[in-house]
Structure 1
Amino acid sequence: MSATIAIAIFIISYIFIISERVNQALVALSGGVLLLLTGVYKWNDAFTNYIDWNTVALLFAMMVLVSITKKTGLFEYIAITFAQKVKGKPVPLLIGTAILTAIGSALLDNVTTVLLFVPIILTLTKLLQLPSFPYLLTIIFSSNIGGTATLIGDPPNIMIGQAVEHLTFLSFITNLGPIVLIIFIVMLTIVVWLFRGKLTNNQQFSDQLMKMEGSIYLKKTPMLYQSVTVLSLTITGFLLHPIVHIELTTVAVCGAILLLLLTEKEISTEKIFQEVEWVTLFFFIGLFMLVGGLQEVGAIDELAKGIMWLTQGDLPYTALLILWTSGIFSQIINNIPFVAAMIPVINEFQSYGMANLDPLWWSLALGACLGGNGTLIGASANVVVAGLAEAEDERISFSLFLIYGIPLVLISLLISSIYVYLRYLLPFQQML
């Protein structure tokens, strides 16, 4: 009975989220509360087991850092300088946005990258009178694709790296880097082709841009130097994560608190907290509660076990099925809990005599990370971008995103299937 209730609440909530008639955070939280009222799980279980407070805290900390830094005019300065480098031309601006987002997502993590980059792009699109949707869409796609390349780029990769000791930072780059580069080029080509008609250059705004002095936007007060220093230290902490083994959330929270303490005289903490995207944070909490209901009744575990039962231990079939299943379901239930359910199941294959599990891990990473591009709730970065855009009255439609997201996921999974087969499965079959 509990399983039926949990699945029904999830499906109904998801329908309301897609319809966008009610605030998405309110829908997700309402679904979570219904799970509590119907006894699917208790609040203590939701609080301790299902709500990923690390993700929530990381988002909150980065929102604080970005909010303070934004008041120094740094983002406007970077935006104007970047736009002037490409002479305000829309297509080069889109390509540059994609490249910077992908690199940032690989070296940091995709959530942090979009938190830093979206304010810059929204500033630029308003300045040049360009539609923001193509750029925001490109940021989401690039962040998820770029984040796939490294251990710290996307939460699913972090979880896989923590579960499998021999998969190092370098392992992720050498195994996933080549295919990520191919998919990124394909994605960028498609996006530029689709939006070429809307990305027209307005010479008047471009000329105005080239005459602007970006430095006049910088407020050269102590807060500017404090913000840049603390933000740089935080990013350095992210990069040193594989060496110092301090959690990314810890680094981000320490950076946020330090910057709040340093800038308290210039801007009050209360004002900064008022500017945090609380709706986005509560949407994450509600989403984790909804998926937690599926975990509590064993729905996700049964799905994972069903995949393994279908493959009967055949490595090529298992790898490709994991790739496609994780890619498809990560669009619906968010890739973090799905990967959490799949990790112990893949480990079980060792008991079936399967010695080399690496192709399965790479298939899971590719499917979960790339599948996140399918919907606005498929990955954490998507939700964050949507929240930041809505705060600036640049709302991204859930249904419109699906039109572009799902085809890209299918293309990405097809390319990944060819890559996985040629690099891992074909050599394995030749050894038999």
Structure 2
Amino acid sequence: MFDTIDLIVILLAILGLLGVVLEEVIHVNKAQSVLFFGATSWVLLFLSSMDSDMGHAAVITGLEENIGEIASLWLFLISAMTFVVYLNQKGLIETLIYKVLPSRVSERTLLIMTGTFAFLFSSIVDNITATLICVALVLSLNLDRRKTLRFAAVVIFGVNSGGVAMITGDVTTLMIFLEGKVTITELILLSLPAFGAVMVLAVLLARPLNEVAVIQKKSHPLAKVDYVIAIIFALTILSTITGNVMFDIPPVLTFLTGLSIMFLVARAFGQDTEDDPIMNYIRRIEFDTLMFFLGILLLVGALKEIHALDTFVKLYDVLPPWAANYLMGLLSALIDNVPLTAALLKADIHMDLEGWLSLTYAVGVGGSLLVIGSAAGIVAMSKLEDLTFGSYLKYTAPLLIAYSSGFVASLMLARILA
């Protein structure tokens, strides 16, 4: 049973979620509301633990772990986003995109191409970087509001689906792999149902699109240093993958190293000037997004501290594993999938390959059902003014159909492999 302080923390988490949902009604920035409720939750936990030395020490340890996770995420995001901001400002990303795109293409084909690109790109890099690149692509197309939202939904779903089958693409996939529940081969095969689900969504959302998009080729004057920094970015991504898999190097450390090399290279090429300091690109990052992450992770950390997330494990006592996994995917749209997965692994739930593969898919892709349910959705929402909690809800039905089709396909894959 929860005591009074636990119920208050849960209430604050609900209020924080409502603050995000009702942002347009209450006219309070979502980052401001969740940061207030997240920080307040921890303050209350400290105040309530003063009567017990052991309880107070546990809260201190919990906050230190929570802050450590947030700091690691922040530093990683700052590094990745600085690269992307620089390349976007210089026009390199837009130039490369227009070189790949045909001059004339139907909007339906363009939507499918966008979903495929989001899926493949997020299989290689982190979801944040993949979303930033894909959103830049969508913005460069200059589509109307309705079409832009459709493309955004496919991007969010595609990015989350692409990361689910690679240990470098999604943290929860890595966690399940490290626990020995699935193998690399099985995860790679999981990309088949995951990609199939993306195509299902693209087809469903492509129906009203029937115009031919004329792609106006654009190019920007690029300096040699811009290409060099683009190469550094690509090498940083590759080094992050190999370094983490082979030497267990944290991704944040690799990206910080890449960022420092970027600064030094810009200086060596004479691009770090008083008129255009290379460090200024850090200031151009969307810090609203980072503050929103901070508030959300503080709230989730507080819920984890009072063991509120452990109650979800009880689903496996009353439901078959596949049904519980499906619901876990739905819950991951409301609750961060990392602590949710950690709670399931810590509970030592016994499942066969079918159960673990379907869980890997569910917690990785389920966050796509709500725009606030994944890092990809939050980043996309910060970049696209028309993308809000309410506007994204319009695509709940096709998103749920796509998610369900991929989930069923993951069950079938596991039965074939068994």
TM-score by length of 1: 0.83
Residue 65 (structure 1) aligned to one of 59, 66, 83:
83
- Letter paired with 2:221: L
Residue 321 of structure 1 aligns with which residue?
Answer: 323
CA contact (8 A) 2:205 2:398 kept: no
Distance across 1 between alignment mates of 2:300 and 2:42 = 13
Residue 193 of structure 2 aligns with which residue?
Answer: 179
Distance 1:413 1:100, change over 3 A: closer
Where do 1:96-175 residues align within 5 Å?
Answer: 96-125=113-142, 131-164=147-180, 167-174=182-189
- TM-superposed CA distance for 1:29, in Å, is 0.3
Residue 231 (structure 2) aligned to one of 223, 229, 232:
229
Distance across 2 between alignment mates of 1:134 and 1:224 = 32
CA contact (8 A) 1:169 1:242 kept: no
- TM-superposed CA distance for 1:379, in Å, is 1.1
Quick check: 1:359 aligned with 2:354?
Answer: yes
Quick check: 1:373 aligned with 2:368?
Answer: yes
Residue 38 (structure 1) aligned to one of 27, 41, 44:
44
- TM-superposed CA distance for 1:401, in Å, is 0.8
Distance 1:122 1:340, change over 3 A: same
Distance across 2 between alignment mates of 1:121 and 1:104 = 15
Distance across 2 between alignment mates of 1:105 and 1:420 = 19
SS in 2 for 1:419: helix
- TM-superposed CA distance for 1:427, in Å, is 9.2
CA contact (8 A) 1:110 1:144 kept: yes
Write out per-residue CA displacement over residues 276-330 of structure 1, whole angstroms, 9 at most, x where no aligned residue: 11111111111011111211111101221x123224xxxxx12x13322211110
Distance across 2 between alignment mates of 1:422 and 1:98 = 23
Residue 254 of structure 2 aligns with which residue?
Answer: 251
Write out per-residue CA displacement over residues 149-200 of structure 1, whole angstroms, 9 at most, x where no aligned residue: 2222222112222232x634332012x122113212211111112x42xx63
Residue 345 of structure 2 aligns with which residue?
Answer: 343
How many pairs does the alignment contain?
A: 393
Question: Structure 2 stretches of 5 or more lacking a match?
Answer: 50-58
SS in 2 for 1:396: coil
- TM-superposed CA distance for 1:425, in Å, is 5.9
Residue 308 of structure 1 aligns with which residue?
Answer: 316
Distance 1:146 1:86, change over 3 A: farther
Write out per-residue CA displacement over residues 336-356 of structure 1, whole angstroms, 9 at most, x where no aligned residue: 2211211112x253xxxxxx6
Distance across 2 between alignment mates of 1:340 and 1:71 = 38
- TM-superposed CA distance for 1:251, in Å, is 1.9
Distance 1:282 1:80, change over 3 A: same
- TM-superposed CA distance for 1:423, in Å, is 4.4
Residue 200 (structure 1) aligned to one of 202, 211, 216:
211
CA contact (8 A) 1:230 1:255 kept: yes
Residue 34 of structure 2 aligns with which residue?
Answer: 28
Distance across 2 between alignment mates of 1:281 and 1:43 = 23
Distance 1:130 1:190, change over 3 A: closer
Distance 1:401 1:35, change over 3 A: same
Distance across 2 between alignment mates of 1:58 and 1:219 = 27
- TM-superposed CA distance for 1:92, in Å, is 2.4
Residue 405 of structure 2 aligns with which residue?
Answer: 415
Residue 76 (structure 1) aligned to one of 79, 94, 112:
94
- Taking only the aligned residue pairs, the percentage that are identical comes to 22
Distance across 2 between alignment mates of 1:395 and 1:130 = 9
CA contact (8 A) 1:136 1:385 kept: yes
- Alignment RMSD, CA only? 2.6
